[in-house]
Amino acid sequence: MGGWWDWPAWKLLGVVVLIVGLARRWPAGPVVLGAGLVTAGLAGLPFVGDNARPGMLDTLGKAFVENRVITLYLLTLPAVGLSERMGLHSVMARLMGRLSGVSLARVLIGFQVARVVMGALGLRLQGHVAFGRPMVAPMATAALPTASPAHAAEVKAAVAAAENYGNFFGQNLFPASAGCLLVAGVLRGAGYPVDVVKLSLAAIPVVVVSLGLASVQFVWLARRLERLKAQPTDTSAGATGGDRHG
């Protein structure tokens, strides 16, 4: 007893495995499981335990089975797939097409709001691929005061950001989203059972603040590009302009 191997922090090696593995983009499942097994092994858990002291396989199996609810949405995928076959994306595109012809800031804010609404309805869609690239980016660049490539690039980055903002914060508004269910699962495991509806309500303030802050950012971007149009500039000024304001 009392040797260097008794140092309790060795168990943190599992966290190191997680960080290194995910950062190096190794397949996520094996990294996560490896991190868990390394941790459990270093903590001295047996492979298979008994009722008094569960082992790592018992703990893993119990946790996985108890958290099946997180992956419950698999049951909705046939319907989503059929919807896509019936032309879901073109319908959505048509609805979002109503944004066209309005100002740059409104396109960006409108896109983010649309993504928050989709998130609140639990529609899990790949926004960059489904809307950002084919729909919103062309609309946003069309709303540009000048057709400078540097400005167009900045606006496209803003479209990507609007998608991420709306998607990240909006999805928590749906009580049965993977995020809310994960939070509920982890808290239950830690001895604090919570209601997923409560979680989705608690997400509202951050959604509101993120929409407000993003609106300010988008309006500033539109104004700056507008001002740059007023004074004729060379393209290099536009390319470095991103760091001056916002």
Partner 1 sequence: MADSSSVVARAITHPATLETAFALIGALLWGYAVQVAGHRQRAGRWLAAAYWFVLGALFGFGAWLPHWVSGLLVVLLVGIEAGGGVRLQATPAPSSPTGLMVQGLRALWPVLTIPGVTFVVAGLAALSGGDVGRGAVIGLAIGGILASGVALVAGRLTGRAALDAGRRLTEDIGPLHLLPQLLASLGLLFTAAGIGELLAGAVGSVVPQGSAVGAAVAYFLSMTLFTALVGNSFAAFSVITTGIGVPLVIAPFGLDPAFVAILGLTAGSCGTLCTPMAANFNLLPVGLYGLADNYAVIRFQWRLAVALWPAHILIFSLFVLPR
Binding residues among 139-168 for partner 1 as defined by CB under 8 A: 153-154, 156-161, 163-165, 167-168
If binding is defined by CB under 8 A, does position 79 make contact with partner 1? yes
Among the residue ranges 26-34, 98-106, 224-232, the one whose residues contact partner 1 (CB under 8 A): 26-34
* Distance of alpha carbon 79 from alpha carbon 189, whole angstroms: 32
16 binds partner 1 (CB under 8 A): no
CA distance 195 to 57: 28
Task: Examine residue 242 and tell whether it contacts partner 1 (CB under 8 A).
Answer: yes
Q: What are the φ/ψ torsions at residue 12 (nearest 5 degrees)? A: -70, -10
**Interface of this chain with partner 1, residues 218 to 237, rule: CB under 8 A:** none
Q: Which of 63, 223, 227, 235 binds partner 1 (CB under 8 A)?
A: 63
Q: Indicate the helix (H) or strand (E) that contains 140.
A: helix 137-142
**Secondary-structure percent of the chain, ordered helix, strand, coil, rounded to 5:** 75, 0, 25
The total of other beta-carbon atoms located within 10 Å of residue 46's CB is: 14
Residues whose CB is less than 8 angstroms from the CB of residue 153 and which lie 6 or more positions away in sequence, other chains included: none
CB nearer to partner 1: pick between 11 and 106: 11
Tell me the two tokens of residue 132. Answer: 């950002």
102 or 208: whose CB is closer to partner 1?
Answer: 208
Q: Binding segment for partner 1 among 54-62, 97-105, 228-236 (CB under 8 A)? A: 54-62
Supply the minimum distance, in Å, between the C-beta of residue 93 and partner 1: 11
